[in-house]
Structure 1
Amino acid sequence: MSKRLSEAEGAGNADRRAFNALMEACGTAVLAIDKNGVIAMANSNAAKFNETSASELVGKPLIRVTLSADIEQLVRSAIEGGEMRSRTVRFRGPEGRFLRVTARPLTNDGVHEGTLIVAQDVTTLRRLQIVRQDFVANVSHELRTPLASIRAMAETLQDGRGMEERISRSFLETIISEVDRLTRIANDLLTLSEAESRPSAKAGFDFSKLTESVITRFQGPAKRAGITIRANIEPEITVIAAQDQMEQVLVNLIDNAIKYNSIDGSVDVGLRGSPGSIHLTVSDTGVGIAQEHLPRIFERFYRVDRARSRQSGGTGLGLSIVKHIVEAHDGSITANSDFNRGSTFKIDLPTGSADIKERVDAANQNTV
C-alpha cells in the first residue's frame, strides 16, 4: 500500500514538474486568478511583463498588477459570457507595448472557480502593421498627386483648341516632369523592395575605388550647384558586399548632401578602415535637420521639407534605401545634424573574412 502511495506521489510530482516546465517554455505570459480576481499562479513571462518575480504576483488582485481596465473588462466579459474571449490591449510602459490577451473562465460543475489568462507580446507585429498601413497611405498619396496633375494637364490640352503654343508646351513639360517623378518613385520602390527581401550577392571589391568613382561622377553636378566636394579616402580598403548596393548607398548620401546644401557649401566624404570594419562619413554644410526630425529621417516617404524635396526631385525613399542596404550587410548608420549648419551620416560596415584582400588582389591580377 505504501509503495502504491509513493508511486502515486512520484507520478504527481512528475506531472507538476512537466506542467511547470510547460508554463516556462510556452513563450507567453500565463496567469490564473481565482473567483475573486486574485492571482493564484503566474509563470516567469508574466513576471517579466511586470518587472518582478512570479512569487511576487501571487496573492495580488489582477487589477493592481496590470493597472489595465481593458484586461479587467475582458476577464469580466469572459466570465459573464461563459466562454473564451480575446482582444489586443495596450499595456502600460513608456514605449507602450501591445498584448494579445485571452481570458478563459474555469468552471467546476457549472460553478465559476477562476479564470486562466494568456498574454502574448505582439508589439513588433502591431508596429509592422502600422508601418504597412502608413506605407500604403504614403504610396497612394505620392502616386495620386502627379497622376492628378497629369490628368488635369492632359484634359486641358484635349479641350484647348486655339491654345497658344507657349502654354501647350508648358503643359507638356509639366506632364513629362510628373512622369519622370513617377518613374523615380517606381524605381526607388523596386530598389527598396530588393534591399528588404532579396538576399544580395556579395563579392570582394575595392571600396576605396568605388567611393572615388562615385565622387568623380558627382563633381560636375556639384560644381554647377556651387558645391565643393572634398574627399579623404584611405586607399585599398576592401570589403565583401554587394557592390551595386554599396554604390547605391554612396549615390544616395552624396546626392542628398549636394541637394540640401547651401550656396558655396561643401561636401566631405571620408573613408577609413579598422580591423574588421570600414567607416564611411558623408558631411555637408547645408540646411541641417532639426533634432525632432532626426529619429524619423530613415522612414519611408518621410521628408523634413516636403516642398524642397519635391522641387529637387526627391522621392522620400533615399535614406530608407540606404538604411536597409546597410543593415542587410550587418552594418549600422547614424545621423547627426545641427540645424542650419549641416548634417553628417556615418556608416560602419564589417569587411568580411580575413583573407578578403588576398582574394581581391588575386582577382585583380587575373584581369590584367
Structure 2
Amino acid sequence: MGKKRLLWQLYWPFFVITVLALAAITLVAEKFLYDHSIERTTQSLQSRAHLIEESVTSAMAEPEGTVDALCKRLGKAASVRVTVLLPSGKVVGDSEETPSQMENHGYRPEIRAAMQGQVGTATRYSPTLNIPMRYVAIPILQGDSVTGILRVAVSIESIEQAVALIRRHFWIGGAIVLVTAAILIGMVSHRISGPLEEIKQGAERFTAGELGYRVPIPKWLEMAPVARAMNQMARELNERIRATVAERNERDAILSSMSEGVLAVDDQDNLLILNEAACRLLGISEPPTAGRSLWEVARNIHLQTFVDRILAGEETLESQLILWEFQQERNIQARGTALRDMSGRRIGAVIVLNDITQLRRLENMRKDFVANVSHELKTPITSIKGFIETLSDGAIHDPADAKRFLDIVSRQTQRLNAIIDDLLMLSRIERQTDQSEMELQTGLLRPVIQAAVQLCEGKAAEKEISLEVNCQDPLTARMNAALLEQAVVNLIDNAIKYSNPQSKVRIEAAKSNGTIMIRVIDSGCGIEPQYLPRLFERFYRVDKARSRKLGGTGLGLAIVKHIVQAHGGRVTVESTPGKGSTFSIRLPINS
C-alpha cells in the first residue's frame, strides 16, 4: 500500500467527521422544522375547520348541491381545500373537484378517525391535485351522533421547499467549512511537514554517513525533542564509529606490520582476517574480501587440513606446512587456536604463520658446515696420521721415503693451517659485522687492486696468465683496505686456478649505476647455472676433486661474500660454461 501524505491523513478523517456531523444536524433540523411546520399547519387547519363547521352543518340540511357550492366558496375564500363527507365516506362537497366524480373516502385514515368522533390528520400525496397535502378532518356532530365529516386540507409544498432550502444552506455551509478546513489543514500540515521533512533529510544524511550534520530544532514543542534526540544519536554514533574505525585501523596497522602471517576463519571456514604477511606467505597477490572460503583463496591441502582440525574441536595445534612458490619450497610453521566469543562459544579459528624457510636453510647450512668442516679437517689429519704411522713403522729409516712422507705431511699441515686460518678469518669478519666493529675509511681503490694483483702475479706467471688492470681514476670508497684487498685476491686467485694456461684475467673497477663495481673476468671453464646459487656457501665446490687438487680450502668465495657484506655491498657471479666467469663486487659510493 502506498504511503499517504500528512495532508490527506489529516483531511479525510476531518472530512468524514464533518460530513457525518452536517448530515446529522441537517436531518435533525429538517425533522424539527418539518414537524414544527406540520404542527402549526395542523392547528391552523383545525381552527379553520371549526370556524366553518356551523356553516357546513346548516348547509347539510339544504338541497344536495348547496354543500358543494358552499365548499367551493369557502375554499376559495380561505385558500384551502374543503371537503364534506357523509358518515359512509361519500363526498357531498369539495372545493376543488366534482363530488360525483370522487371515490369513496371512507378508508382514508383522517376520515376513519373523524368517523369515530376524533380529529383526524394525515399527510400524503394527493393524486387528485398531484401535490403533497396536509389533511385535518373533524366530525360534524348532532348530539352524540356523527352526521357528517368536514375535512380541510392545504398544500405543504411550501414546507418541503423551506426544508429543502434549509438543507441546501446547510450543505453549502458544510462545503464552505470543508474547503476552509482543507485550507487550514493544508497550512497546519505544511507547518508540521516542514520540520518532519527536515528531520527526514537529516535521517537520510545520517544514513549516508554525514554524521556531522545537525537537524534544525523546530519550534513545535512535540517535534523539538525528536530533532534533539536525532542530533544526540548522530553525535554518539559518530563517536562510536570513530572509536571503531580507530580500533580497526590500529588493528590493521598491527596486522600489516607483523612479519608473521595471521588469518582467522569463522566456523564455516570463511575468512575473517588475512593480513599482508599471510597473503605473501600464501602467494596471494591481492587481499581477498572477507567472507570468502579459505579453500577458494588459498588452495593448499595442508593448510586446509590444519584449519579443519581446529574447527573440528582441537583447542591448539602446531604443525609445519610445505608451500610452493614459483616452484620453490617454503617451510611454514603454523600455530592455530580456537576463536571464541565473549560467552566462550567457539566461533572459528586463528592461525599464525611463520616463514621458517630461511631458518631451515640456515639449519641445513649449519649441518652441512659442520659436516664439511669435519670432512675437510679429517682428510689432512687422517693423511698426517697415516704417514706418521708409516714413518713410525720403519719408513723413517729410509731417507728417500722419509723425505717424501714428510713432504706430504708438511703439505697436509699447510692445508690444515690454511683451512683454520680461513675459518678464523670468516669468524672474525662475521663478529666485526654483527658488532659493527668494522673500521672503514675512505681511500683510493687503485692501490688496493694493484696490491692484490701483485700478490697473485707469481701464481699467474706459473700458468703464463696475464693480469690486466683497468681502474678509473680517481675512484674512492669507504673500506677496510686489508679486507677488501683479501677479497680481490681471493677472486683473482680463483680466476687463475680455473683459467686455462696462457689466458688472460681482467680486473676492472669503475662507477656503475650509483655503485662502485670491481669485476674479475676470466676465460676459464665456466660454471653450470644450477651451481651458481650455492657458489658462495662455505666448503661448497662445483668439482671437489679438482678444487682440492688446486689447493683450495672451499672458503675463499665465502670469505669474499662476508667481506663485501661487511662493506654494505654484494657480490654476484655471471658465468657461461666453456667461456668463463665474471665475479662482480658492488660497493656503495662513500658509504
Which amino acid is 1:22 matched to? R
Specify which of 113, 137, 155 is matched with residue 389 of structure 2. Answer: 155
Deviates more, 1:210-219 or 1:313-322: 210-219
Matched, 1:18 2:247: yes
The corresponding residue for 1:365 is none
AA at the equivalent of 2:254: A
Structure 1 position 273, deviation (Å): 4.3
* Paired residues for 1:264-303 under 5 Å: 264-273=502-511, 277-303=515-541
8 Å CA contact 2:561, 2:571 repeated in 1: yes
Distance 1:69 1:257, change over 3 A: same
TM-aligned CA distance change 1:350 to 1:176, over 3 Å: same
Distance 1:50 1:249 in 2: 38
Establish whether residue 98 from structure 1 lines up as the match of residue 336 from structure 2: no
Partner Cα separation in structure 1 for residue 513 and residue 577 of structure 2:
34
Cα 1:294–1:118 shift into 2, 3 Å: closer
Contact kept in structure 2, 1:269 and 1:280, CA below 8 Å = yes
Q: Where does residue 328 of structure 1 map in the other structure?
A: 566
The 1-side partners of 2:361 and 2:249 are apart by: 32
- TM (normalized to structure 1)? 0.83
The whole-number CA distance in structure 2 between the counterparts of 1:350 and 1:160 is 61
Q: Cα distance 1:162–1:99, how it changes in 2: closer, same or farther (>3 A)? A: closer
- Residue 216 of structure 1, CA deviation: 2.6
Deviation at 1:268, TM superposition (A): 1.7
Q: Which residue of 1 is the match for residue 41 of structure 2?
A: none
Q: 2:415 aligns with which of 174, 177, 181?
A: 181
1:162, 1:222 → 2: CA distance?
36
Range with greater deviation from structure 2 (304-313 or 204-213): 204-213
> How many angstroms apart in 2 are the aligned matches of 1:275 and 1:17?
43
| Aligned residue identity for 1:254 | I
Q: Which moved more, 1:32-41 or 1:9-18?
A: 9-18
Q: C-alpha displacement at 1:61, in angstroms? A: 3.0
Can you give the 5+ residue segments of structure 2 that lack an aligned partner in the other structure?
Answer: 1-228
Deviation string for 1:201-252 (max 9, x for gaps)? 1112221122223223322332222222222233442222100111101211
Secondary structure of the structure 1 residue equivalent to 2:585: strand
Cα 1:43/1:237, change in 2 over 3 Å = closer
SS of the equivalent of 1:304 reads coil
Alignment of 1:257 with 2:495, yes or no, is: yes
Q: 1:172 to 1:132 in 2, by over 3 A?
A: same
How far, CA to CA, are the matches of 2:314 and 2:460 in structure 1? Answer: 71
**8 A contact 1:35–1:113 mirrored in 2:** yes
Tell me which residue corresponds to 2:263: 31
Deviations 1:38-87 (A, max 9, x none): 3234344434444244443x333333433223223333444556321122
Is residue 2:547 matched to residue 1:309?
A: yes
Structure 1 75/203 Cα, relative in aligned 2: closer, same or farther at 3 Å? same
Q: CA deviation at 1:6?
A: 7.0
Distance apart, 1:16 and its partner CA: 6.3
Per-residue CA distance 1:100-152 (angstroms, 9 max, x = gap): 21111235677543212222333333333332232222222212222222222
Distance 1:352 1:209 in 2: 17
Q: Give unmatched runs, 5+ long, in structure 1.
A: 354-368
Q: Classify 1:158/1:324 alpha carbon distance in 2 versus 1 (closer, same or farther; 3 Å).
A: same
Please report the RMSD computed on the Cα atoms of aligned residues, expressed in angstroms: 3.0
In structure 1, the partner of 2:370 is 136
Which residue of the partner structure matches residue 213 of structure 1? Answer: 451
The 3 A distance-change label for structure 1 pair 277 and 119 is: closer
Which of 232, 238, 255 is the equivalent residue of 2:476?
A: 238
1:119/1:167 CA distance change after superposition, 3 Å = same
Q: Which structure has the higher relative contact order (CA within 8 Å, separation 6+)?
A: 1
Q: CA deviation at 1:352?
A: 0.8
Q: Which moved more, 1:271-280 or 1:172-181?
A: 271-280
Contact 1:276 1:352 in 2 (8 A): no
Give matches, 1:336-355, under 5 Å: 336-352=574-590
Q: Report if aligned partners of 1:24, 1:45 keep a CA contact under 8 Å in 2.
A: no
Deviation at residue 30 of structure 1 after TM alignment: 2.5
Shift of the 74–340 alpha-carbon distance from structure 1 to 2, 3 Å rule, reads: same
| Residue number in structure 2 paired with 1:358 | none
> Which stretch of structure 1 is more off in the superposition, 43-52 or 129-138?
43-52
Matches within 5 A, 1:110-149: 112-149=346-383
TM-score by length of 2: 0.54
Q: In structure 1, what is the Cα distance between the partners aligned to 2:350 and 2:512?
A: 55
What is the letter of the counterpart of residue 429 of structure 2? A
1:268-302 residue CA offsets vs partner (Å, 9 max, x unmatched)? 22233469643322222222222332232222211
Distance 1:218 1:24 in 2: 55
